Structure 1
Amino acid sequence: MNFSSKKIFKNIVAISIVAMFFSCTNNSNEVRTFFTAKNLPVGVAKDFAHVYRDSGRTTSKLFALLLKDFSNRENHPYNEFPKGLKLITFENNGKDSITILADYAISYSKTLITELRGNVVITNHTDQSKLYTDQLFWDQNTDYFFSEKKFRLISPDNDIKGIGFESKKDLTKFLAKKLSGELITKEN
């Protein structure tokens, strides 16, 4: 048998490459642990757009320039929107809609609490009311907003300012604290 050194070298390289591929056996838990230890997201999406549908009906649309998925966190998994978000929700077959805008958001998966920060604007398109604040928490379990920061609520009838605010997601029933401004009430 006559083996050339070129063939022997090729065989050694091929065997080495195959051995390298089979020796790399990271399982998903090891990768997840690595990302968690380094405080890295398990996924990143740019120019993110997602449409939520229920029974073929569009219930909301979410847009974000950047989404970081930290669902690999064992105790407090979350999604971070460091460049802000825009969320449009549709009720009553699209007749009523709410738009939520913020410069930054972080949404915790286990508690379903979302913190919105920086130029937060909530718009109820049905009754033309708008809420402005710098920070707002949204409990998605109850569809309830709350804040202890300054706010301004503008509706066709009122322009209310204060510090501290709670309301349903559609801004129809609210509790405003430390009020200032003009408030018009109607008697039944």
Structure 2
Amino acid sequence: MWLTYKYILRGIVAILFATMLFSCQNGLNEARKFDGNRVEPLTIGEGVNLFYTDSGKVKANLRSPKMLDFTNQQFAYREFPDGVEVDFFNEKQEKTTIVADYGIVYNQTDLIDLRGNVKVVTSDTTILNAQQLYWDQARSWVFTDKKYNIQMNNGALNDGEGFDANENFDKFISRSNIGVQYLDESEQ
């Protein structure tokens, strides 16, 4: 009789163990699904100071308090949530500086999105202020649909909403603006 209770007890324990095992496996699979949807950066950089060089010459210097690298995602990007400052140098080593409160670089499209107190100071003293600015690196083109103000190197001033321009700002198309323009009639 003692042997029978022992086998019954073992059977009950085995059934409970199997039930718990299968129920835990289901819960584990659910937890893995939940965890798989979370987007985590591949790396986090703090106090970032990157230099881009070509043939021994500095082409750009990027500084940021924090960089989040999401190049592990299907649509890869790098994010600068605490602001970014970049100095670009042309062939003559003339510097253009861009500062923004937030930046994101999309690797596959070569598009950079800068937001919050964006300021661009070019080597020829053109100064642009905007709340958002897109830079298409592949086409060397900058644009925004937001409000902006710009002071060109010839003294022209624009306050407007939305523009497209090349990187040098010598081709500048404003969608709507108020300002003072200087025209060189000899170029017509």
Is the structural similarity TM-score above 0.5? yes
Cα distance in 2 for partners of 1:35, 1:160 equals 49
Q: Once superposed, what is the RMSD of the aligned Cα atoms?
A: 1.7
Cα-to-partner distance string for 1:154-185 (whole Å, 9 max, x where unaligned): 12421111111111112222111211021121
Which of 142, 145, 161 is the equivalent residue of 2:139? Answer: 142
Cα-to-partner distance string for 1:102-156 (whole Å, 9 max, x where unaligned): 100111010111110000111112x211111001111011121010111101124
Cα-to-partner distance string for 1:81-116 (whole Å, 9 max, x where unaligned): 00110111101230x221111100111010111110
Cα distance in 1 for partners of 2:140, 2:45 equals 26
Which residue identity lines up with residue 182 of structure 2 in the other structure?
Answer: I
Which residue identity lines up with residue 142 of structure 2 in the other structure?
Answer: F
Larger radius of gyration: 2
Cα-to-partner distance string for 1:18-59 (whole Å, 9 max, x where unaligned): xxxxxxxxxxxxxxxx98632110100011000100011111
The count of aligned residue pairs is: 153
Does residue 154 (structure 1) correspond to residue 151 (structure 2)? The answer is yes
Which of 100, 111, 125 is the equivalent residue of 1:128? Answer: 125
- After TM superposition, the structure 1 = structure 2 runs for residues 24-173 of structure 1, keeping only pairs within 5 Å, are 37-74=37-74, 76-94=75-93, 96-125=94-123, 127-155=124-152, 156-173=154-171
1:158/1:182 contact within 8 Å kept: yes
Percent identity, aligned pairs only, is 30
- Residue 8 of structure 2: aligned partner: none
- TM-score w.r.t. structure 1 length? 0.77
Structure 1: give runs of 5+ residues left out of the alignment.
1-33
Cα distance in 2 for partners of 1:142, 1:39 equals 30
1:35/1:42 contact within 8 Å kept: no
- Residue 178 of structure 2: aligned partner: 180
1:158/1:184 contact within 8 Å kept: yes
Structure 2: give runs of 5+ residues left out of the alignment.
1-33
- TM-score w.r.t. structure 2 length? 0.77
1:137/1:146 contact within 8 Å kept: yes
